[in-house]
Chains A and B, each alone.
Chain A
Amino acid sequence: MVRESGNEAQRPFWSGRPVIDCDLHNEVPSLEVLRPYLADHWCDYIEESAFRGPDADDYPKGAPTTIRPGLEWEGEVEGQLALMRRQVLDPLQVEFGVLDCAYRVQGVHDPELAGALASAINRWQAEHWLDRDPRLRASIVAPTQSPVLAAREIDRWGADARFVQAVMPVRSLIPYGNRIYDPIYEAAARHDLVVGIQFGGSPGHPPTPSGWLSTYLEEYAAMAQVFQSQVTSLIVEGVFDRFPDLRVSLIEAGCTWMPSLMWRLDKEWRGLRRDIPWVKRPPSDYIRRHIRLTLQPVDAPPSGKQLLEVIGQLDSDEMLMFATDHPHWHFDRLEEAFPAGLSDSLARRVLADNARSFYRL
């Protein structure tokens, strides 16, 4: 059941063009829905151990960033999907919508249970989401804290073209450039999938390099630092030299920090590149070639002016991909999901073309 207050979504002025939404959330409403996809011993284990699911709260219920107040659904997929259709897919005439399930199996310490949950989630995604709306594409949930098991899960779905990426939470046990993650990148390369690095995660250590924080606001805003560390790690550790075709999307990362990271890495690389001789081109070059960012939440003032400046500073009109991040709450009216002031050709790129070529849609 959906309760909805206020404005019914209307078609915004910018949406006469093709639209691909690169970040829609499908939430596992409870462990209950996964039961049909779990082996009996896991069902009993969950019962006996009073396991309630992963200990992660990236989107706390009631936080205004999580969902628009007065717009909660009660549990069921039907409600979520109906809301998604009514608020995003239909009014924007979305051609493809990429689901980014944020169920954090990566925080489950038993790797076998984490793997079983991931498999269950992916089957649930296929049956309850992908089978129900042909516009939807999905992200493979995988126990990325156990790269070999994660690779197995990616292989399981690699042939289903509706799964277009594998997701990893940006907060990881150790940085993603480390070679222990190679099985994941190999699997992604095998199936020509994007690796999506997504806001959140709870690996067990503090959410910033300087330690534990007091408030959700700090954690939410500081996530940009974690993204920066991961981008740096991927480049410095030579992931893109080892996997020259790997594509990485940064989901809900913001984008205005990216130019300064590019400048900084390029600058330091000139003098320190002997530490990393496999990095043969300026790091910004790798970033432009291999990395894309989803649009919402935009970490710039609402006018399009600053965003245009950022796109100029990125020196690429291919890096941003439209996303509403539905149902997370970043704008009051759908109209505001996309900034004004972009030229028609740039708007087309950001709204659909960039994602189409990146995700091979």
Chain B
Amino acid sequence: MAEHVVATLGEIPPGGRKIAEVEGRSIGVFNLDGQFFAVLNRCPHQGGPLCLGQQSGLLQARVPGEYSYTRVGEIVRCPWHGWEFDLKTGRSWFDPVRTRVRSYRVRVEMRESEGGGCGEEAGHRPGPYRAETFPVSVRQQYVVVEIP
């Protein structure tokens, strides 16, 4: 299993999404009310860019006129032919057992990144004076996708 940092937490606010390249595949990472979910950006129907589709709710009705609209934002509709997929499971609405899009586990975790370089790479030559320096690192939260 490989882990890939795809974004900082701040990059994908609630309701937002990011499409990331991971190990050569395009994966959509979605923030649903603070929980993260990821699915392959490739529709099982004919390969459409599923994760560019409209996010909306689950529309149901027992009989005409009795609408129920729930799980707003948790359903993505493929931009090519409108098939609906559950972002939390990858299952399609109309055939949840057989028609599903690959989904991936996502975690948010605190990681450290090293501070930036001192400028030598950019072509500066060190001058004659040196100030006292301190090592700096940034601790922040990252969105991590697991590829099995």
Give A contacts to B, CB under 8 Å. 179, 237-238, 241-242, 269-274, 276-278, 282
Contact = CB atoms under 8 A, between A and B. Distances in A.
A179 B65 CA distance: 12
Interface string B46-89: 00000000000001111110110000000000100111100000
Interface of B: 59-64, 66-67, 78, 81-84, 93-94
B64 A241 contact: yes
A272 B64 contact: no
B53 to A, nearest CB: 11
Contacts of B61: 277-278
Contacts of A278: 61-64, 66
A242 B65 CA distance: 11
Contacts of A238: 63-64
Contact of A272 (B60, B63, B67, B82): B82
A270 B59 contact: no
Contacts of B63: 238, 241-242, 278
Contacts of A269: 94
A271 B82 contact: yes
Given A269-B94, A282-B94, A274 B62 contact: no
A108 B59 CA distance: 42
B94 A241 contact: no
30 contacts: A179-B64, A237-B64, A238-B64, A241-B62, A241-B64, A242-B63, A242-B64, A269-B94, A270-B81, A270-B82, A270-B83, A270-B94, A271-B78, A271-B81, A271-B82, A271-B83, A272-B82, A273-B84, A273-B93, A274-B59, A274-B82, A274-B84, A276-B64, A277-B59, A277-B61, A277-B67, A278-B61, A278-B64, A278-B66, A282-B94
A277 B60 CA distance: 5
Contacts of B84: 273-274
Contacts of A273: 84, 93-94
Contacts of B62: 241, 278
Chain B CB within 10 Å — which of A179, A238, A241, A270 has the most? A270
A278 B93 CA distance: 13
Contacts of A274: 59, 82, 84
